[in-house]
Amino acid sequence: MSPAQQILDARIEQRGAPHQRIEMSNSTGVDVWGAWFEGIELLKNAHVGAVDAAAAKRSNIAIVGAGMSGLMTYLCLAQQGLTNISIIEASNRLGGRVRTVYLSGGPSDYSYQEMGPMRLPTTMTVEGEKLNISDHQLVFQLAQELNALNNNREDLRVKFIPWYETSDNLPHPRPLAGMDKVLKQVNTILSRKDFCVDMATNMFKAHRIWLDNGLKSISQDPWSEYAFTVNYMAAKAVVNATEYRPTLSGPGPSCFWDDLCGRVYANATTWTTVDGGMDRLPLAFAPLVGNMTSLNSYLERASYSPQSRTVLLHSRRVMNGTATLINSTHDYVVLAVPFSAMKSLQLPPVSAMMRNAIENVPYIPACKVALEFQTRFWEHLAKPIYGSCWTAGPEFGGIGSMCYPSYNINGTGKAAVLASYTADPAWTKVWEATPEREHVAYVLGVMERIHGPIAREQYTGKYSRVCWMLDPLESGGWADPSVEQHQLYLPEYFKTHNNMIFVGEHTSYTHA
């Protein structure tokens, strides 16, 4: 707690105003680097403080951002009895970076692709044992809860179907040279042969183990994956640095923990996705939040009043080309907006550490191109392709990964292929500077090179192209904190800053 906040609290207490605060920190048993929810359970059972529940439930709460974090925040608060909640969303839809594009018809017409998240890992196999990946269980529980709240209405029901990640009839991606040796060495350093098991079954526990043990036995300084592999392991002759091919983050400062998370997910044995598109998940919130959500409302500025201990929001709502300025006052504001898009907001003073996080956490760029075809011709080749993704080689520069639809297998009618998905900064910079039609034409040309003339013959002319860095409401694909940022900033995300709370994938242990 800052000295200014201590003085303010003292003055409030002198006036006899009721004021209770329970910090979410190690001092109260909340492990901000580990299983923090266990500390919350301890606090609840210990009855810390005489909190006036009725007064708390009367609080006026504003949630800025109707992405999955903002929607989930609403549900958690509403189910605890808070009713005075409003949601301010700058776009014209719910879901944020969860974005399904329907190129023809709707969910039941099965001609769509995911321009945001595509699938969820469910199991992984370690030394012959299949383990459930627990990190995404919350999503499945959320879907079950939403289905119940919506009385299982068919038009709102969230249903999961298998996702086909690999196919024997697609080229297999070339393994990253030396990475099996890298992971073996990591396990040796950690003295934990079952570290991957911990990551699968309890990501929070694994996160704490990593920070406590990590690579500190080598050096007191954290390592990026690239630095660890090339500088340390090459020096130890564990791998040949000239053979090592860097991953998505490349020779940069991305923290090793994020790369380990990515490897756990990438090596999943089974996957699932939402039937009809991932957009079905935020859509299921619509009946719950419709009356309290202001779409097309862009937050421009927020100010804090220490006298009333409230936050004043200044928003601009655009309807039919006409902008209306809206001021609203709230007891608390939850900012469910990515840091990449938050930089332009005028916010009340926050801690120097929090301000550094907002301004300096980098974001991964990503570009996707989806193309629609008259039929699912890839399922009728001599070697049919059913769903699945593969990583294109250097002969198809700038394509990255390609994914064929895992839904409506052997169905009829139109269907869409994710014909390019790259997060390689060297290429995303190129595509961001390339006119959309030229980018799409290049991707279609690659499809023709792979499949022959049938690709161009079957192309309907409909496409979707998203480069997330160009989206003014997102300005990035997902948070990618550099070495030391991840551990340094986490405690700040558990704090309340002038009655503002920060939530989102950028504040989580695993990010996207």
Q: Where are the domains of the chain?
A: 3-91+282-362+484-507, 119-163+174-276
DSSP 305-354: ETTTTEEEEEEEEEETTEEEEEEEEESEEEE-S-HHHHTTSB-----HHH
DSSP-assigned letter for residue 380:
G
Q: What is residue 135's predicted lDDT score, i.e. its pLDDT?
A: 80
Instruction: Look up residue 52 and give its two tokens.
Output: 């006036």
Backbone angles phi, psi at 5, to 5 degrees: -70, -35
- Residues 6 or more apart whose CB falls under 8 angstroms from that of 135 comprise 121, 200, 203, 510
> Residue for token digits 């292929």?
417
pLDDT for 292 equals 95
H/E/C letters for each residue in 112-152? EEECCCCCEEEEEEECCEEEECHHHHHHHHHHHHHHHHCCC
Q: What is the pLDDT of residue 17?
A: 42
In sequence order, what are the residues at sequence separation of 6 or more whose Cβ sits closer than 8 angstroms to the Cβ of residue 481? 254, 255, 258, 361, 362, 489, 511
Cα→Cα distances 359→252, 352, 481, 491, 496, Å: 19, 11, 12, 17, 18
pLDDT number for residue 254: 63
pLDDT tens for the chain, residues 1 to 512: 443 334 334 433 443 344 455 666 666 556 665 555 555 555 565 554 445 677 788 899 999 999 999 999 999 999 989 999 999 999 999 999 999 999 999 999 999 999 999 999 998 877 777 888 888 888 999 999 999 999 999 999 999 999 999 888 886 655 444 445 555 655 555 444 466 677 777 776 776 776 666 555 544 345 555 455 444 444 444 444 444 444 444 445 566 666 677 667 777 889 999 999 999 999 999 999 999 999 999 999 999 999 999 999 999 999 888 999 999 999 999 999 999 999 989 999 999 999 999 999 999 999 999 999 999 999 999 999 999 999 998 899 999 999 999 999 999 999 999 999 999 999 999 999 999 999 999 999 999 999 999 999 999 999 999 999 999 999 999 998 887 787 788 889 988 999 999 999 999 877 77
390 beta partners: 402
- State how beta strands 322-330 and 268-274 pair: unpaired
CB-based contact 140:154 (threshold 8 Å): no
* Conformational region of residue 191, where left means phi above 0, alpha means psi within -120 to 50, and beta covers everything else: left
Predicted structure pTM score: 0.83
pLDDT of residue 182: 53
Q: How far apart are CA 245 and CA 248, in angstroms?
A: 10
Give dist(CA 416, CA 67) in Å, integer.
24
Nearest Cα residue to 39 out of 392, 494, 363: 494
Whole-angstrom Cα distance, residue 380 to residue 67?
38
How crowded is the C-beta side of 38, counted as CA atoms within 13 Å? 10
State the residue for tokens 């080229």: 171
Residues present in the chain in total: 512
Distances (CA, A) of 34 to 39, 186, 210, 445: 10, 20, 10, 48
Amino acid identity for residue 307 in this structure: Q
Give the pLDDT score at 21. 59
Beta strand 112-114 with 120-126 is: unpaired
Domain made up of 3-91+282-362+484-507: CATH architecture? 3-Layer(bba) Sandwich (3.50)
Residues whose CB is less than 8 angstroms from the CB of residue 146 and which lie 6 or more positions away in sequence, other chains included? 156, 158, 281, 284, 285
pLDDT (0 to 100) of residue 206 = 72
